[in-house]
Amino acid sequence: MTRTVTRNQMESLLDDLSYPVMRIDAAREFADVTLQLGDGEVNLGGLVSETKNDAFDSIDDLKTELDDVLESDHDDVLPGEVTGLSGRSESDG
């Protein structure tokens, strides 16, 4: 089941994780979450997978990384897509 949240509601989801958490685990946890933004929507798991850190020690670390990704160009993350988690290699294409 897909969950849809606003950016303001995102923090409560992030708070549900046990920290520290690996990026891949957080991305999988949010693979079914659609984040509604003012200019459209994006998959939260896909955003997490685009962050720079491999792990997050706290909710603040993850929020900061997500803010950085949201401020950058995120047009290539499609709803329902979690980069690197599909099991397909780039050559499967």
Within-domain flag for 56: yes
pLDDT of residue 38: 85
Within-domain flag for 78: no
Within-domain flag for 38: yes
Global pTM?
A: 0.75
Please state the domain count of the chain: 1
- Run means of pLDDT, 10 residues per run, the chain, 93 residues: 89 95 97 92 95 96 94 57 42 43
Task: Give the domain range for residue 9.
Answer: 3-70
Within-domain flag for 76: no
Read off the tokens for 51: 């962050």
Within-domain flag for 89: no
DSSP conformation letters of 3-70? EEEEHHHHHHHHHTSPSSEEHHHHHHHTTTEEEEETTEEEEHHHHHHTSS-SEESSHHHHHHHHHHHH
pLDDT of residue 2: 84
pLDDT of residue 15: 95
CA 74 to chain centre: 11
Within-domain flag for 91: no
